[in-house]
Structure formats: structure tokens, C-alpha cells
Structure 1
Amino acid sequence: MSTAIDTPVEELARERSLGVLKNPVLIALVITVLLIVVGQIVSPGFGSYNQILAMLRVASFLGFIAIGQTIVILSGGDGIDLSVGKVATLGAIVASKIMEGSNDNLVLGILIPLAVGCTIGFFNGLGILLLRIPPFVMTLGMSGVVTGLILAYTGGVAGGRSAPALTALVNGRWLFNIPGVLYLWVIATILVTIFLRRTWTGWNIFAVGANRTAARLSGIPVTRTVLLSYVLSGLFAVVGGLMLLGYTETVFLNLADNLTLPSVAAVVIGGTLVAGGIGGYVGSAIGAVLLTVLSSFLTTINMPESGRIIINGVVLILLLAVYGRQRKLRA
């Protein structure tokens, strides 16, 4: 008698345990910790407090860019933004030109690049919504446009410097010797999570990503929601570029180009479905940390750059391979 009653309870408990073990955020966190432990064994000091802080600081640059990428992917419709790397670079270049190593134009040096990023995101959204251009094609094409804008703006030679205040924010050590940019990243993570989980606009993004037809029939402003998603992607891409500028103090024509695909990988690692409608930013933030720790680990074991690029590419392919399964599940 007791067996008949207990069996369903045991099965439910087992299912919940398996559900926790299959949680992508938890898996990413465990892999990150394992990489740090193995790195510490292979190279003492890899897991030290200061080294972990250094890796987290670098991860924050990708993390800021992944905020916009998360929102775009959550909005569905095969949403993806392949222009974020170039937009981040353009934002940093414009900021450095305006700041010119002085705090006098710090506010303009932040606001103008942010406006540029929002504008590019706006045109991405218009192309996708009005011209019916697939997001992959539209944002890839926009990446080429932004590359041309960078060359036209700089004449092929990047100049300018970060304002000392911006550099102090990113590289300066605050409470517990933690870089200021990490505090900013934590605040951004909290605010973005509240935005997605506790506001009507955030709920609309999930609803539109889950089923645009149903969302439209429910009275949700689908066009406005998708357009906002791409505007936010451009905005946070520039935020990532500004943080990179503060870190390097100078700019390069390809400053953030290599963060485009990792921003997609970070979102997928964090459990956000590429099909849209399911996920969140906390997972993307952990995904950004995992990718950064992986890159640092491969560097620590003296793997050639070619090998690191291959491994990162393979990881990205394996992660995005779930796309087809997600589409089937969503259908």
C-alpha cells in the first residue's frame, strides 16, 4: 500500500532532480568552476582571487554586449544581431574622439555613442520588420555598413583616448579590491532581470518570442516590441564598447569584432532558446564568464591561437546545433 503511494512521489522527486541537473545555467556554472580548479592545478595562481577578478573584468565586456543579444534572441523570429561587434567598436571610436583623454567631454562622449548605437539598432529593426529581411542577413549587412562608417570616420586610423574617469571606472579597484566595472555589471544584471521579469515590456518580449501570431491577436504591440529589442541591442553593444575603451584607454579599428559570435554563444550557454520566448540574462552573464575562463585556460596551457580559435568555433557550433531541436520543440 505504501509502495503504491510513495512511487509517484519518488518519481516526481527524481524528475525534479534531473531537471536541476539539466539546468543550463547550473551546468555552465559547474563547468566554469571545474575549469578554474583544473587551471589552478595546471598553473598555480590561475584560480587566485586577483586572477579571477581579472577574468571577470574581461567577461564583463562580453556580458554587456550579451544583454542586447539576449533581448533580441528572446524576441524570436530567428532574431540575432551580428552587428554588435562592429557597433561596439564604432561606439568606442566615437567616444574616444570626443573625449580625447579628458573628462571635460565625458558626458557627451558617452551619450553620443549611445545615440549612435540606438540609431543603428533602429535601422536594423526597420529592415527586419518593414523590408522583411531575415535578421541574420540584415544585421550581417549592417555590420558591413558600420565597417564603412568606421573607415570614413577615422580615415583608416583610429585616434583619441579614453577619459580618465572612464578608465578609473573600469580599471580602478573599489570595495574588496573589485574593479568598478564589475559593480556596474552586477547592477546592470539586476536591472535587466527586473526589466524582463517584472515589467509589461519585458513580458511582451517573452510573449512575442514565444508566438508572434498569438501575441498580435492578444493585442501586444509586436512591431514596437521587436523594434525596441534591436534598439536595446545597439545600445548595450555601445556600452560594451565604452567599457572596452576604458580598459584599453585607446581604440583599434577591430576593437570588439571578436565579440560578436561569443555574444551569441553566451546567450545559448545560458539557456535562452534561439527560437525565442524562453531564457533570461543571468544565464547569459554566466555564459560570458564561462567563455572568458575557457579562453584564459587555453592560453594558460599554451595552446596556439589557431587551436584556441578552432576550439571556440567548435564550442559555438555544438551549442547552436540545438537550434534545430528547439524549432521542433516549439512547433
Structure 2
Amino acid sequence: MSDSAPATTSTPVSTRVAGFVKQPLIVALILIAALLLLGEALSPGFASGQQIMRLLIVAALLGIVAAGQNLVILGGREGIDLSVGGVVSLSAIIAGNLMAGENSGIPLAILGCIATGALFGLFNGIGVTLLRIPPLVMTLGMLGVLQGLLVVIRQGIPSGRASPGLANFVSQPFLFGIPGILWLWIAIGLVMAFLLGRTVFGHRIYAIGSNEQAAFMAGVPVKAVRIALFVLSGIFAAIAGICLLGYSGSSFANVGEQYMLPSIIAVVFGGTPLSGGKGGYTGTMAGALLLVILQSILVTINIDESGRQMVFGITLLVLMLFYGRGRSMRA
């Protein structure tokens, strides 16, 4: 008989830490709680119910934009939609002018904005798939077109007015004391979960994001799916533009630019690598809220806009180390 005891194995601390970091939703929720505590310490009342509700409204605006960004990134081929800020701005201006402060103009404004967002998304999708222009180049070029169009239309002057109904929907209690925009965001979250997890279209998104060539050989209409992703991105950006008009009351030509980089960061923080094929929208929702809280803290400590953009840029680079390397992190 041998007197030696059976060898015991223990999981290295580094392995446990790496496993924890690979759970972006949990990390995001912990950081959200930590940032709320930090904000409360810096400015008493930061974590009050009223302030949290305001932060949720702002996060919903970002989260709606990030929904479309999430779909494009999931589709792989380093897909990123840099034109979302321009679509948000243009949609806010279109909605404001079609409403002109009247509730009767809401249906036409919604239809007009969604059609506009879908049209520019279609242009992006055609450029990426049929003309084979890299998504980064195509959407950056489209952003330039949109910015030029906005300057020609309004030259930076506020344009249009939100209707009282839209303003109340975004900012005032709608059901169970919760503003309508939060119910809209919840509905989008449920639709995204169903779309990605329960539909053939969702499975095709993951397939082309994981291996486009294999998906094509399996009969997946890769080009049609990719075009649809850019169209949906444009539609979500347009919806965010309408809601942003309701939040601010009027719109400026560059009002949507603030959502371009944060929408990408929210997606990456949510666990979707820029290589695509893995991830979901639940984590993106948490990422959007986290970024809004972080931005609010930066404002509280008097960091100007340029400083906040630097922080967001550094945040994206750090997140890329953990979540953005794609295939190397896939189990």
C-alpha cells in the first residue's frame, strides 16, 4: 500500500479571475453599483430614486442606439456603424419639423424617421456587401454625408419642436410610475432577446459572425442578412433620434454625435467582441447604463467634454483587452 495522499488540485487565482472577467454582465452590474456608491460619496443625492430614474432615461437613449450597433457587430467582418450619430441627428430634426409641437404630427414623424433611418442603413448595407467597401470606411463616409446634409439643412440652428405627447412619453411617468421610454427600452430588450435566441434570422446572424464562409456554404443568404443588419441599425438610430427630441425639446445638427463612440463601448462591454459571432443585448443594456453613470460622475467632478471623450476612448481600449479580441476568447 502507498502512504501517499491523493493529489489535490486547486484552481489558480489567475484562472478564476479570468473566468470572472469573461462574465461581462456580472462585471457591469458590480461596476454600476460601485459607481453609484462613488457618485453618492462625491455628491450626496446622486443615488437617489429621482436621479437614478433620470440616469435610466439617458441610458435608454444610448441603449436604443446600441441595439442596432449590437446587431451590426454581431454580424462579424469587423462590422461597426459609425453613421449612427448622423442618423440620430437627422431623425431628431425631421421629427421636430414634422411634429412642430403638435401631437397630431407624431405618427407621420415616426414613419418619416424610420423610413429615413432604414434608407441610410440600406445605403450602408449595399456599400458593405455589394460594393465590398469595409464597414468602417463605408459608415464613416456616410457619417460625413449626413453631417454635410445637416449643415445644409439647418446650419447648426435649433430646428423643430417636440410635441407635448412625445415629451411626456420620454420624461414623465407613463405606467406604474415609469416613463414610457423605459418601457420602450424594455420592449426592445425583449424583442432583441427573442430575435437573437429564438428566430432563424438570429441564428443566421451568429452563423455569419462566427464564420461567414461556412455560413455561406450552408445556404445562409449572407449578403441579405448583412444588409438587413445595417437597415435595423439605421431604424434603431432613428427611433433614438425621435426619443432624443422628446427629451431635449428641440434638436441641433450635431445632437447625435455623442452616441457614436459610447454605443460601441456599450456593446463591447456587454460581451460582444468586435469580431462578432458571440454576445447579446442584455449585457449591452447594462453597458449603456454603466457608461451613463460614468459620464454623470465625470460631469460631477467638472471634467469637460474633451476630457470625457478621452476617458471613453481609454475605456474602449481597456475593454478591448478583455472582451474585444474575439476568437481568442471564445470557449
> Please, what TM-score do these two structures have when normalized by structure 1?
0.92
Tell me the SS of whatever aligns to 1:174: strand
**Which consecutive segments of 4 or more residues in structure 1 shift more than 6 A?**
14-18
- Aligned residue for 1:105, secondary structure, equals helix
Aligned residue in 2 for 1:168: 168
Offset at 1:203? 0.7
Summarize the alignment of residues 60-209 of structure 1 with structure 2, pairs less than 5 Å apart: 60-154=60-154, 156-209=156-209
CA–CA separation in structure 2 for the residues paired with 1:47 and 1:103:
34
- 1:176, 1:280 → 2: CA distance? 28
The percentage of counterpart residues that share the same residue type is 45
Give 1:201's aligned amino acid.
F
For the 8 Å contact 1:99–1:162, the answer to whether it is kept is yes
Q: CA RMSD in A?
A: 2.3
1:298 is displaced (CA, Å) by 1.4
8 Å CA contact 2:22–2:322 kept in 1: the answer is: no
| Between 84-93 and 36-45, the greater mean CA deviation after superposition | 36-45
Residue identity opposite 2:325 in structure 1: R
The alpha-carbon deviation at position 28 of structure 1 amounts to 1.1
State the match for 2:291 in structure 1. Answer: 291
Tell me which moved more, 182-191 or 65-74.
Answer: 182-191
Q: CA deviation at 1:300?
A: 1.6
Q: Quote the Cα distance in structure 2 between the aligned partners of 1:320 and 1:139.
A: 21
Q: Secondary structure at the match of 2:234?
A: helix
Distance in 1 separating the partners of 2:267 and 2:18:
22
For residue 175 of structure 1, report the CA deviation from its aligned partner.
3.9
CA displacement 1:28-75 (0-9 Å, x = unmatched): 111111000111122110111111111111011100000000000000
In the other structure, the counterpart of 2:242 is 242
**Pairing 1:211–2:211 present:** yes
| Deviations 1:181-208 (CA, angstroms, capped at 9, x unpaired) | 1111111111111111110001100101
Helix, strand or coil at the partner of 1:250:
coil
Q: Which amino acid aligns with 1:270?
A: G
Q: CA deviation at 1:297?
A: 1.0
1:266 alignment partner in structure 2: 266
May I ask how many residue pairs the two structures share in their alignment? 326
Spell out, residue by residue over 1:63-121, the C-alpha distance to the aligned partner (whole angstroms, 9 max, x if none). Answer: 00000000000000110000000101101111111110001221011111100000000
Letter in 2 for 1:75: G
CA distance in 1, matches of 2:105, 2:61: 23
Return the alpha-carbon distance in structure 1 between the equivalents of residues 141 and 305 of structure 2.
28
Cα deviation digits, residues 186-237 of structure 1 (max 9, x gap): 1111111111111000110010100000000111111111010000000001
Question: Aligned equivalents of 2:58 and 2:272: distance in 1?
Answer: 22
Name 1:28's counterpart in structure 2.
Answer: 28
> Shift in Å at residue 152 of structure 1?
3.0
Higher mean Cα deviation, 110-119 or 36-45? 36-45
Deviates more, 1:263-272 or 1:37-46: 37-46
Unaligned runs of 5+ residues in structure 1 are: none
Letter matched to residue 136 of structure 2: F
Distance 2:306 2:85 in 1: 21
Distance 1:323 1:194 in 2: 24
More helix by share: 1
Provide closer, same or farther for how the CA distance between residues 310 and 156 of structure 1 changes in structure 2, counting only shifts above 3 A. closer
- Give, in whole Å, the separation in 2 of the partners of 1:17 and 1:132: 40
Whether contact under 8 Å (1:275, 1:323) holds in the other structure is no
Displacement after TM superposition at 1:165 (Å): 1.3
Between 172-181 and 215-224, report the one with greater CA deviation. Answer: 172-181
Q: What residue identity is the alignment partner of 1:303?
A: I
Q: Is the contact made by 2:75 and 2:205 (CA closer than 8 Å) also made in structure 1?
A: yes
Alpha-carbon offset, residue 319 of structure 1: 2.1
Task: Name the amino acid aligned to 2:165.
Answer: A
Counterparts of 2:156 and 2:298, CA distance in 1? 32
